[in-house]
Structure 1
């Protein structure tokens, strides 16, 4: 530097010395308004077919109106025939969900044995490891910030090869002030997202995506406590799998099942989803509705996909379907991320309403061009998509209706004088019993089969409240339908508290 200045003394007035962190902070600040606008618009402008910014696209509104008018006309003009057709359709819908979970249950034990015998590949030396970026979206999370930093500090990855970005809304002074006061190590960086609608987590993640330095990327939530070796297992999986596998999903495990009936059934549900159903889908090379956290990506393809949809409030499931349509695949690993479930019914209901609203957005987005969707996914993926997203959503909406059918048919069989109609009512009644109570049983069994003995003890007797839990899910689904009409992009924030467990 001294020799350079001696040769070119005019540089003295044009040079400044700063730290790397201050330079990056200045770079984020410069043009931040333009970049946040690009983050909000990019997907809708470059790939409008995959954006949820417009709820009903093309002819979807017209066809939805025709369908609604047809249903109302059928109910008014031929109520008995309409009820019979609806009953059969509901039964098939429940049956498809039931059979998919039966397959997952029978394959769960075999997968568990394979996971126990699998060993991680030996990793290369530190200087050969890729930089691993970690994104964590934070909003009013002062209560759990210390727990989060402690969990991230335990990640088993060389600190010089980590790029951890804590993504905060710039007006969230409480969280930002607390993070700045913690004197975080140099691998941490606080990203301030400018105010811009929609104010959602996927918009914040997409804004931060352009600044990540790693070739691999993990996404966590504020309350997460990932297993220390999770990055290494994900890296080993990426090394073992083809370049078309660009996403790895780690399982989420609930640790406060004993606190309430809600958290107990939440733990059962998460165990069924992340440790039984998703591994089965992964093995079958079917589309995965990703969880909103503990996703690991190859960064370059994720950027090519446009990142997350800022207008979809369940951005994880949407991204899982989009990457599958574009020829990429998702797989699963076994090392978990621990988190706590809501124990308050109001908080739980708002969270589930947002999830259902996002699943409905995802179904509508993917079904804008059904023929193209079938061609890109193939028949197997196409049917799996409808069972996973559409089937889950509509079965939740229809659950009270099917229960009402059971009551009605039970009364009808006792009062029915016609043998023919009585036989039809009987077999529909049997189908409803199998669908409803079989679904309850498979929900419980699928969750318990991969739980440890301690987890089962924590859930205890709460599995008996599964029917109540499903009715609560149905309430959330109906709330989501109305929210999609009046508040499509509102993000219902779930408050978090530090866990009582370590």
Structure 2
């Protein structure tokens, strides 16, 4: 632990003399600054002890510099360069004006390092003025909103077009699909029974492979023991050795969730002075922006306004905010997320013991309102099987891991190297997980959970799941454009896992209703001629898939809640058929949107659970 600098001590005395801080607050701020190894200002602003403008005015007085309001007096646009926008945002300095032949640099962090960097960048004829970091960030957004927005949308599509979903179908895929459909129709015309048998065999083998694959994943992933050493190592990390961590929180029209979200982030067991939290809001979402501004949030919270543009998607918003991120690592949380307090510490500890090519760590997701109704019970079983059983299995077998939409933690430089998320893919997380593997990076698993609000209304659930299914279709189409090259890059097992995990999830949703109808027709025996389509070996295989295969999936669902001790959820596994039925509805809806409106982002409405409604009411009463 290094002692606080004499300059910061002098600044603290000024703040006390101006009655901005009490002596007790100054002592605590100094202790935090030394423990966290951050500047005194970071400690003060993280505690919300001073208005930002008042604090930075004291900084200007301390350094004998002029304080400027960049909102009233914005930078001269002739002096700023689009190519340097990320430098301005990360270094918190920006050219402001020219005066008497000297370049005036507005900075939120005056000091020797700033002077050295500015002289190397702009020469020795520079003079400094002080502005708040929030004004500098706003000035960068105002000056380059169109350019930064264009970069957020088109960077991946322009630099790696083969990995972008901007083009839904390539000519080769269209030709392949047309040829396959033509061949099928020709076969039905010339030899309908043989063709139907061939289709039936292919689908039955697919179903059998899908059952077996999921069983293998659970076998490997479910046997994973909790890594107690990570929890111990996380607790052993001192505050001073923890890096700056950027937290992106993309939100849209969710003002009511802001107080709960802010409190969940405050409760993280991580030095507040080392959190770089970005509330990523659409510029047109005036209500949420207004509520965020009125809350008086600590200085660790910054508002990033995303300019209006299409597609209006979460990955585009995250790409825009990525250009302002200052952390070594970055995580995405949704508005309703409640991460376990030690999650960031566990992530840092895991990164430090992982291989150098580990670029992302995925935490488990689960639901805090799992007991609300049948749908939340089933959704929780689904997530339990997915995150607690299957993803660890993918990790152990080195198969590409499709990331969840939240609580994925990245090395920020790798994220920038891969041009961030694909704004045209509505499951940008799953796509990015595959892209990381394709580029030679590893995605790992951390034994930590973020609790979310499960969709408790059928309409809301179908909208959310249809977007996920549409995104899985996009991801499958993107990464199978060059299937042989893709298989060489991730290996045969990885390719097989991708086909079953991404393609198989979608295909099951599409084919299930067709096979259910076919089995019903066969059992009723009211339809003549079906016996020819079901020769005896195929009949046994189909019945095995129907009875044993679906029974096995129900059994896997029964295993899902055991890890968390939620044994009262096990009986609901027997009702999985109803859940699969509405999943098929969502899948067909996703397919329709893929063809008609591929980049449309169907918003999931949060704050509708009775648990959240009750908490929001209690929060309003507390404020009143």
Tell me the TM-score normalized by structure 1: 0.92
The separation in 1 between residues aligned to 2:154 and 2:228, in whole angstroms, is 44
Is 1:332 equivalent to 2:442 in the alignment? no
Q: Bigger shift: 414-423 or 191-200?
A: 414-423
Question: Using a 3 Å threshold, how does the CA distance of structure 1 residues 118 and 39 change in structure 2: closer, same or farther?
Answer: closer
SS in structure 2 of the partner of residue 171 of structure 1: coil
How far 1:432 moved relative to its partner?
Answer: 3.0
Instruction: Give the aligned partner of residue 482 of structure 1.
Output: 592
> Could you tell me which residue of structure 1 aligns to residue 51 of structure 2?
none
**Distance in structure 1 (CA, Å) of the matches to 2:219 and 2:136:** 55
Q: What's the secondary structure of 1:140's corresponding residue?
A: coil
Q: CA RMSD in A?
A: 2.6
1:121 maps onto 2:233 in alignment: yes
Structure 1 unmatched runs, 5+: none
Shift of 1:164: 0.4
Counterpart-to-counterpart distance in 2, 1:437 and 1:417: 22
Query: For 1:385-433, what per-residue CA distance to the aligned partner results, in whole angstroms no more than 9, with x for missing partners?
Result: 1011011111111111222232244345998998997634541443332
Instruction: Indicate conservation of the 8 Å contact 1:444/1:463, yes or no.
Output: yes
Describe the SS at the equivalent of 2:351: helix
1:85 to 1:124, Cα distance in 2 relative to 1, 3 A: same
C-alpha displacement at 1:467, in angstroms? 0.4
**What is the CA-CA distance between 1:20 and the residue it aligns to?**
2.0
The separation in 2 between residues aligned to 1:323 and 1:141, in whole angstroms, is 31
Shift of 1:207: 0.8
2:468 to 355, 365, 370: 355
CA drift of 1:93 comes to 1.6
Q: Is 1:35 matched with 2:148?
A: yes
The residue that corresponds to 1:456 in the other structure is: 567
Determine whether 1:468 maps to 2:578.
yes
Structure 2 length-normalised TM = 0.75
Residue 282 (structure 2) pairs with residue 282 (structure 1): no
List structure 1 segments (4+ residues) > 6 angstroms apart after TM superposition.
1-5, 413-421
Task: Indicate the structure (1 or 2) with the bigger Cα radius of gyration.
Answer: 2
Q: Does 1:390 align with 2:503?
A: yes
Q: Displacement, 1:184?
A: 0.9
Report which stretch shifted further, 491-500 or 230-239: 491-500
**Contact residue 367 and residue 380 of structure 2 kept, 8 A:** yes
CA 70–442 in structure 1, closer or farther in 2 if over 3 Å, else same? farther
- Contact 2:522–2:530 (Cα < 8 Å) also in 1: no
State the 1:498 CA deviation.
Answer: 6.6
Instruction: Please list every run of 5 or more consecutive structure 2 residues that lacks an aligned counterpart in the other structure.
Output: 1-61, 67-98, 105-127, 616-624
- The answer (yes or no) to whether the contact 2:220–2:392 under 8 Å persists in 1 is no
Q: Give the aligned length.
A: 495
Higher relative contact order by CA 8 Å / sep ≥ 6: 1 or 2? 1
Native 8 Å contact 1:90 1:402 kept in 2: no
Q: Give secondary structure in 1 for the equivalent of 2:451.
A: strand
Q: Is the 8 A contact 1:413 1:426 kept in 2?
A: no
Matches within 5 A, 1:135-284: 135-284=248-397
- Are the structure 2 counterparts of residues 291 and 420 from structure 1 closer, same or farther at C-alpha, using a change threshold of 3 Å? closer
CA apart distance, 1:157: 0.8
CA contact (8 A) 2:561 2:570 kept: no
| CA distance in 2: counterparts of 1:419 and 1:283, whole angstroms | 43
Equivalent position SS for 2:546: helix
- Alignment match, 1:495: 605
Given that 2:283 and 2:305 are in contact with CA atoms closer than 8 Å, whether structure 1 keeps it comes out as yes
